[in-house]
Amino acid sequence: MENSVRVLSTLALAGAIRALGESYQAKSGTRIDADFAPTVRLLERLRQGETADVLILTDEGLAGLIAAGSVVAQSRVDLARSWVGLAVKAGAPHPDISTEANLRATLLAARSVAYSRLGASGIFFAQLIAKTGIEKEINARASISPMGFTAERIVSGEADVAIQQLSELKQVKGVEIVGALPHHLQTPAVFSAGTMTDSKNAAASGLLLKFLASPEATPALIESGLERLA
């Protein structure tokens, strides 16, 4: 029977985990059986009784499960951080989003802005447009996804720009990333991983966590749009 480690991961790590899967299986003989969704949705699934060997969630999400005794505290590793960015259709002009004023103008000028209802980026963006006083204007014509990759709404023609973690925007073909939203407006999301206490494959889970935290995995993380923590 094939050895595998069941992983429930936030969407932000989807690109990196997929890129590392084949090399990790060749190295360890263990397949990464991963499922991706926003942290909020994964926490709901866990409350409903779903289990896994390894969880990759936002720092806050994993900390809550450690406090509840669902994740082994000693297994926790901080993997990467990600900034929220903006994407447009491939070939379209790249707007200036280098300042708060320019970002605000870009969002107001868009026919429709795509963002996610769930996930760290969606929660952040909802707070940002409320703070800058453009919530009503943006939401009146926004294309809001319950979950998934917001940039798909650009490809389908439903939106002109998409907001999400840079690593999530990079997963969609047919779009181009303009860049991160001004750093002073946001706090980067930190993504951490750990072994569930009821994992039936704790030893293999520990080896996977060690690999993901190792320098060997760093190029894939960076290529996917993430940053290693200093």
> What's the structural domain count of the chain?
2
**76 and 90 within one domain:** no
Cα–Cα distance measured from residue 122 to residue 96, given in angstroms and rounded to the nearest whole number: 21
Element (H, E) at 30: strand 30-36
| Residue 150: strand, helix, or coil | coil
Closest to 199 measured CA to CA, from 27, 40, 29, 4: 4
Domain containing residue 28: 3-81+189-223
Asked whether residue 229 is assigned to any structural domain, the reply reads no
Residue 230 placed within a domain: no
pLDDT in tens for each of the 230 residues of the chain? 369 999 999 999 999 999 999 999 999 999 999 999 989 899 999 999 999 999 999 999 999 999 999 999 999 999 999 999 999 999 999 999 999 999 999 999 999 999 998 888 999 999 999 999 999 999 999 999 888 899 999 999 999 999 999 999 999 999 999 999 999 999 999 999 999 999 999 999 999 999 999 999 999 999 999 999 87
What CATH number does residue 99 fall under? Answer: 3.40.190.10
> Strands (DSSP E) along 130-170, which ranges?
143-145, 161-165
Domain membership flag for residue 124:
yes
Residue 202 lies in a domain: yes
In terms of domains, do 142 and 51 share one? no
Q: State whether 164 and 119 are in the same domain.
A: yes
- Specify whether 179 is located in the same domain as 217: no
Looking at the structure, tell me whether residues 47 and 100 fall in a common domain: no
User: Could you tell me if 117 and 150 lie in one domain?
Assistant: yes
List phi, psi (to 5°) of 151.
Answer: -65, -15
Claim to verify: residue 73 and residue 89 sit in the same structural domain: no
| DSSP 8-state class, residue 125 | H
pTM passes above 0.85: yes
